[in-house]
Amino acid sequence: MHASYRAASSVLFAAVFLAGCSPAATGGSAASPAGTSATKPSGTDARGGPQGAIAVGAGPQTTYTVQKQPPAGSCHFRYEKGEPLEDPACTPGAISPAVTQANLKSTICRKGGYTSGIRPSTSVTGKEKALNAASYGYKGPMGDAEYDHLISLQLGGDPNDPRNLWVEDRRGSFNAQDKDRLEDYLHQAI
């Protein structure tokens, strides 16, 4: 496996197991959103959710509002092989309740339009990006950073839950564009 793929966040790989787009997988029962039935270790994360479980966000909204971000300087990039990764206490990921095993064909497996139809406008995410950059202490040019979904929309991630978004540097040997290619690969695998 290519070295850059190994450096990806484990949350991204967990998202692959949320659902499959094959005909057998899409004919399943109307189970609760994937990730909510996972075994939950004792304790809670920094945002009060069960530790080890993937949070469930609000899902797609008709109108999005700017979401409150963690306090300035409270999030810290972690590094794996020199590459910056999200702070799991600030950005543990969140899935959308709108994506279930029962509706995969009309959501993430739909050909074209799903992610663009649920993505918040840049007038909302631009403000959130600046606030989140302060949360992470990001000092680089904003044009060199992407306000990125930890669990991508095409894998069932929540569109505007602050637990699923973080300022990701576009520079480096494993950067936002590499993660986007990995997300595309994982979506195709589903």
Residue 147's closest CA among 89, 91, 99, 186?
A: 91
CA pair distance 114, 137, nearest whole angstrom: 32
Query: In this structure, are residues 47 and 37 in contact, taking their beta carbons and an 8 Å threshold?
Result: no
The set of residues, in sequence order, having a beta carbon less than 8 Å from that of 141 and lying 6+ positions away, is none
pLDDT at 84 over 70: yes
The tokens describing 64, both together, are 């999005």
Q: Would the pTM of this model clear 0.85, i.e. be above it?
A: no
Quote the pLDDT of residue 175: 61
Q: What is the pLDDT of residues 20-30, one digit of tens each?
A: 554 444 343 33
Quote the pLDDT of residue 136: 97
Quote the pLDDT of residue 9: 44
Domain regions of the chain by residue span: 3-189
pLDDT at 55 over 50: yes
Q: What is the pLDDT of residues 151-174, one digit of tens each?
A: 999 889 999 999 999 998 877 666
Quote the pLDDT of residue 8: 46
CA pair distance 157, 150, nearest whole angstrom: 8
Give Cα separations from 183 to 41, 61, 72, 109 (angstroms): 28, 23, 29, 14
